[in-house]
């Protein structure tokens, strides 16, 4: 447990204050999460709705829960009341559903638009031309209960840093192009294996699991 706390402290001390670390707690027991929470860390990320619902009930209510995994429309209603930020908004249909559920409880939901910057078949998100089309249109203005606060992207899982940097740089350019118009605050890029490259390319939110908690085995 001490190692987990030390890992987080080392990482946070090496980053500037404007970079938010989301501790990816998927598959991790509540006691491990509490060790970090007791250090004052409140931003945690889950990628499965069912696990998120269980942990939200068991853990302190002031935790900022980040939904970082693919979100199905039929699961939106269950997390809307408490979720802090949805990173993985990857379709207009999902935006519509979040808006619909937010309206029911009169809550504006903060989200990031997921952009597909990798060629990997498994990656979700709007492609680069789609995201520009959306950001150049008024479609987001029609969703009163959705607040788009920025963009999210995942790079190719690769040891080739040139490829990773190219992908992150492409998303940074789009973020910089539209951040003033849309009042963006968050560029979520970077996981345990590539977060340093992401930060060099403008990321101010990183999603870190194994470098904090250790290998998931």
Residue 120, pLDDT score: 75
Based on the number of CB atoms within 10 Å of its own CB, is 62 exposed (0-12), middle (13-18) or buried (19 or more)?
exposed
Q: Which CATH architecture has domain 2-213?
A: Alpha-Beta Barrel (3.20)
Q: Give which of 53, 16, 4, 10 is closest to 205, Cα–Cα.
A: 16
Q: Residue 121: its pLDDT value, please?
A: 59
Q: Are 3 and 25 in contact (CB under 8 A)?
A: no
Give dist(CA 38, CA 151) in Å, integer: 30
Rounded Cα distance between 56 and 77, Å, is: 15
CB 191 within 8 A of CB 212: no
Q: Which pLDDT score is estimated for 2? A: 59
Tens-digit pLDDT profile for the chain (217 aa)?
556 768 888 899 999 999 999 999 999 999 999 999 999 999 999 999 999 999 999 999 999 999 999 999 999 999 999 999 999 999 999 999 999 999 999 999 999 999 999 987 566 899 999 999 999 999 999 999 999 999 999 999 989 999 999 999 999 999 999 999 999 999 999 999 999 999 999 999 999 999 999 875 4
Residue 173's pLDDT is what? 98
């Amino acid at each position: 447990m001490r190692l987990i706390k030390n890992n987080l402290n080392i990482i946070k001390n090496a980053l500037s204050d404007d970079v938010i670390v989301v501790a990816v707690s998927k598959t991790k027991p509540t006691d491990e999460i509490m060790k970090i929470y007791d250090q004052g860390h409140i931003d945690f990320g889950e990628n499965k709705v069912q696990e998120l619902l269980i942990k939200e009930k068991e853990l302190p209510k002031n935790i900022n829960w980040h939904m970082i995994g693919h979100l199905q429309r039929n699961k939106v209603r269950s997390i809307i009341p408490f979720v802090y930020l949805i990173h993985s908004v990857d379709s207009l249909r999902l935006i519509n559903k979040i808006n619909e559920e937010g309206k029911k409880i009169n809550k504006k939901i903060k989200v990031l638009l997921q952009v597909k910057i990798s060629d990997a078949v498994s990656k979700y998100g709007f492609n680069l031309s789609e995201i520009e089309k959306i950001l150049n249109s008024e479609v987001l203005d029609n969703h009163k209960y959705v607040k788009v606060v920025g963009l999210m992207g995942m790079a190719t899982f690769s040891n080739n840093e040139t490829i990773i940097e190219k992908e992150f740089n492409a998303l940074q350019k789009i973020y910089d192009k539209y951040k003033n118009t849309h009042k963006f605050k968050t560029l979520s890029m970077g996981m345990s294996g590539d977060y340093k490259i992401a930060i060099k390319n403008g990321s101010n939110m990183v999603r870190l699991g194994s470098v904090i908690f250790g290998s998931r085995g």
